[in-house]
Structure 1
Amino acid sequence: MYLFIIFIANITLFALIFIFYKHLSHFSYPNLPPGNIGFPFLGETLSFLSSGRPEKFVSDRVRRFSSAVFKTHIVGSPAAVVSGSLGNKFLFTNEDKLVVSWWPDSVNKIFPSSMKTSSIEEAKNLRNLLPQFLKPEALQSYVGVMDEIARRHFDEEWANKDRVLVHLLTKRFTFRLACRLFLNIEDQDKVEKLGEPFNLIGSGIFSVPIDFPGTPYNRAIKAAKLVRKELIEIIRSQMRIDPTVGKASSNQDFLSHMLSLSDAKEEDVADKILGLLIAGHDTASTVCTFIVKYLAELPHVYELVLHEQMEIEKEKGRGELLKWEDIKKMKYSWNVACEVMRLTPPVPGAFRQAIHPFSFDGFFIPKGWKLYWSANATHRNPEYFPEPERFEPRRFEGNGPAPYTYIPFGGGPRMCPGKEYARLEILVFIHNLVKRFRWEKVFPHENTVFNPFPFPSNGLPIRIFPYSS
């Protein structure tokens, strides 16, 4: 028995030494960036996820190492974090040359079809399907539909109430839009049936990947299965009743369009729809939420937005819906939205993977390493935005910020293809909000937290008052 215990102890010690050696071997290359590598497996992942603000993880280490690039070990991989406009430019302009977009392997459990190829390949496939759906003439036709849905949303969810929870309602609004435009679903019961589990996916997809009952990651996997099952039923129903399947049309919802262009299986189509809903839902609702926050805090900005929107409203006939020409007049309102995204980027950052070894800023980056860029590294840098903590929409007049300093939608070939779609839904939301209500925050100093997208810690409750001129 004693010898058996000694044997097990030696095997365990050998395994630990091997694991530690392998961990160190990732960082044995010469001339790597400065930084910490943490412990095997975990690295600095817990610090990265639990820092409360992703930019704090980055800014603390940039100051500590006095470098625009530093090494770390997060999400199970050796990584380099780059910051500054030069770092952004390098990553965005070398897409598919030196780097490719990357997501943790844990995402594959939520999107099983990506396991057949890769999450990278799946993203490329989805991006190839989007241009037809998001081309200018298609977007112009969505304005009236968005405005009609926004009017219903504010009638049903905001009107005749003294107090509302903004973050919850903006998520409902953007999800309702997505269901209508992506899936042609207008039945509110169906929307709510999809929406309840859907929120669990967004909060769990980038959580610590522990697949154990009760964890956010486990709940996200279960919720994704449930949503996927509902989407497959919708897909089958669409294929039975839609005679346009197989014939692409410029005014189709995204599902019909994808079925007309793709020979993918139902499960694969469902995963693509699921990914698109996540990408277009949480980000836009985040921006709408923080627009409400900043307009409550800055009455002079609210008044300028209100004036612009009421000038548009005065030119409309009774009950007339917004048109593309109206959207083009909302210049100051869009500048406000841009400044909100500068101060609170809906996507704090993203990962790339090195497909070739290269040098950046004098440091060596090995093949296979992950690279992370942070929006706030430039958004709150006084070198690029003087008085970065001051809310100033006029920064975006004229030529606007310098290239690669303002990156809420990413940049280069990987710039978010849904940028113009997001602009439409955000501006339609602003128009319908300010022409109907004034409001004030319930908690004047509510904190912002991340999970993984930023949101007010209490959901941004506000007191609302009908607008009267």
Structure 2
Amino acid sequence: MALEMDSVPSLVLSVLAILVTLIFLMSTSKKKNSINRSSNKKLPPGEMGLPWIGETLEFHKAQRSNRLLEDFIQPRMTKHGNIFKTRLMGSPTVLVSGAEANKFFLSNEFKLVVSSWPSSSVQLMGTDCIMQKQGERHRCIRGAIASSLSCTGLEALVPKICSSIDKHLSKDWHGRDTVSLYPSVKKLSFSIVLECLLGIDVEPGMLEMFEGVVEGAFAAPVNLPGCRFWRAKKARLEIEKKLVGVVRRKREEMEQKVRREEERRLLSGLVLGLMKGEMSEKEVVDNVVLLVFAAHDTTSFAIAMICRMLALHPNCHSRLVEEHVEIAGSKRPGENLTLEDTKKMKYTWQVARESMRMFPPIFGSFRKAIVDIEYEGFTIPKGWKVLWTAYGTHYDSQCFPEPLHFNPSRFEEPIPPYAFVPFGGGPRLCAGYQLAKLNILLFLHFMVTHYDWSLLHKDETITADPLPFPSQGMPIKIAPKQPCK
């Protein structure tokens, strides 16, 4: 009996060895077949790095230090050109740069490429969210979101956003002489997307739950207790439980024809699609989760970087303040801003665009080739990933002369298509782009007309984990000033 028991581990090890060998042989066979299929095709230049790992470690190191352009992209572009191959997170990947590359790949979504996010992101954002949908299903969900952000929808949003900003400043800024700008704006942006856009009340702890999910969005999908991804999945389940309850209550209200102001908001539009059988409950929940992430994290970083550049360029700040003083002076006491007022904030939007050019809220995104793609004399094999980056054009001197120089006036003239891509482009252009614009313009109006302010740390570093953020929260010194008349 002892002999039999002792032989069990040996048997298990033998079986495992056989399985590993079979997997290795199958993998080798697939690689050989792939090589044979590509043998007559000219692949882009570049190095694939170590097996499976490739150049992932170098990529993540550069991304975390917010030096993706300087430490990863530029050295390889200098060596190989605007298109080169590498291996990232286990996948052969072709990185492309330039406005023409952006246009080619982003406009050929669903034809040549499809969105391809890491497994951890897909599981945490939701398998039924819009970023996972293709073709007609993508258009259907995008249409439901876009309808709430039409001109009529945006006009209705402006006073709601103004009210949220006013309340936030009164609660979090009033009576203080210093404020950590980034976390403050993040809290505000979170409440704007939930309360103003979706009509969902913000409950204590909700922001922290969403933050917990974001932390695992690009982590290794290892669902073991204590791991970052495991913690993020746990937070995702808590969020999902809350949102399912919200969606079901909203459906019940709408079925009972309880007329409320919130019915014009995005959540009601999604629930209406659920009631008509056009969307599932999971699709509604997953898209709400994605919208919250997409709308508050990137907008918060954009506002922080705009304020940083204004502080570093006093002349730009003075000109921007003049624009807002003039708009405020045209309003009667207690009169709200309107959508038409935001259209007068032309210089402010130039400053915002130039700041997002230099500090894009997203570095780019991955696509997957669904056919063999011929581009620039090279073949990108079916199944390979394609990574386009905002940095690849935002710092291109052909599109933006003197790209390291902060110059908002460059946006007085039309920008070449697909050269400026902080919100992506093509069929997957960020659906919340107009909401982000409103949030930015209206917050800056309240900030510069209500407060004098200055940065406490002008050389604060920017890091990323996984999205970019100022490492010290961007503390600012504030002092209230008399309302403009």
**TM > 0.5 fold call:** yes
Alignment of 1:384-463 (within 5 A): 384-399=399-414, 401-463=415-477
| 2:247 corresponds to 1:235 | yes
- SS of alignment partner, residue 466 of structure 2: coil
Note closer, same or farther for the CA distance 1:38–1:17 as it changes in structure 2 (3 Å cut).
farther
Mark the runs of 5 or more structure 1 residues left unpaired by the alignment. Answer: none
Structure 1 SS opposite 2:463: strand
Q: Deviations over 1:286-328 (max 9, x none)?
A: 1111112112222111111111001111111112111112111
For 1:442 and 1:215, locate their aligned partners in 2 and report how far apart those are by CA, in whole Å: 35
Asked whether 1:184 is paired with 2:199, we answer: yes
The TM-score normalised by the length of structure 1 is 0.91
Which residue among 214, 220, 230 is the counterpart of 1:218? Answer: 230
Per-residue displacement from partner, 1:372-396 (whole Å, max 9, x unpaired)?
1010111012222111111111011
Q: Distance in 2 between matches of 1:217 and 1:339?
A: 35
1:119 pairs with 132, 142, 155, which one?
132
Q: What SS is found at the alignment partner of 1:435? A: helix
CA offset digits 1:381-426 (Å, max 9, x no partner): 2222111111111011032x22221111212222222222211111
1:372 matched to 2:387: yes
SS of 2:224's partner is coil
C-alpha separation between the residues in 2 aligned to 1:452 and 1:41?
A: 21
C-alpha distance in 1 between matches for 2:122 and 2:140: 15
Q: What RMSD over aligned residues (CA atoms) do the two structures have, in Å?
A: 2.8
Instruction: Tell me the amino acid that sits aligned with residue 433 of structure 2.
Output: K
3-state SS of 1:169 partner:
helix
C-alpha spacing 1:257/1:247, structure 2 compared with 1 (3 Å): farther
The structure that has the greater radius of gyration is: 2
CA 299–93 in structure 1, closer or farther in 2 if over 3 Å, else same: same
Query: Aligned-pair distance for 1:153?
Result: 0.9
Supply the AA of the counterpart residue of 1:290.
M
Partner residue in 2 for 1:199: 211
- Counterpart Cα distance in 2 of 1:104 and 1:449: 21
SS in 2 for 1:287: helix
1:126–1:75 CA distance, 2 compared to 1 (3 A):
farther
Equivalent position SS for 2:264:
coil
8 A contact 1:43–1:74 mirrored in 2? yes
TM-aligned CA deviation for residue 112 of structure 1: 4.6
Deviation at 1:215, TM superposition (A): 3.2
Cα 1:248–1:364 change in 2 (3 A) is farther
Corresponding residue number in structure 1 for 2:305: 290
Q: Deviations over 1:220-248 (max 9, x none)?
A: 21111111111111112222334577999
CA contact (8 A) 2:102 2:418 kept: yes
Residues 95 and 245 (structure 1), Cα distance of their counterparts in 2 relative to 1, 3 Å cut: farther
Take 1:105 and 1:181, find their aligned partners in 2: how far apart are those partners? 31
Question: What is the letter of the counterpart of residue 267 of structure 2?
Answer: L
Deviates most, 389-398 or 257-266 = 257-266
What's the secondary structure of 1:89's corresponding residue? Answer: helix
- Give yes or no for contact 2:128–2:282 (8 Å, CA) kept in 1: no
Q: What are the residue-to-residue correspondences of 1:267-416 with 2, within 5 Å?
A: 267-399=282-414, 401-416=415-430
* Inter-partner Cα distance in structure 2 for 1:360 and 1:6: 47
Contact 2:308-2:458 at 8 Å conserved across structures = no
Q: Which moved more, 1:410-419 or 1:139-148?
A: 410-419
Paired residue total: 463
Aligned pair partner of 1:258 in 270, 290, 306: 270
Deviations 1:75-128 (CA, angstroms, capped at 9, x unpaired): 33211110011211211222222112221233332245439x992347555313
Matched, 1:59 2:74: yes
Asked whether 1:157 is paired with 2:172, we answer yes
Instruction: Indicate which of 36, 46, 53 corresponds to 1:42.
Output: 53
Percent identical among aligned pairs is: 34
In the alignment, the residues of structure 1 paired with residue 131 and residue 177 of structure 2 have an alpha-carbon distance, to the nearest angstrom, of 48
**Worse overlay, 222-231 or 405-414:** 405-414
| Aligned equivalent of 1:82, options 96, 101, 107 | 96
Whether the 8 Å contact between 1:202 and 1:282 is mirrored in structure 2 is no
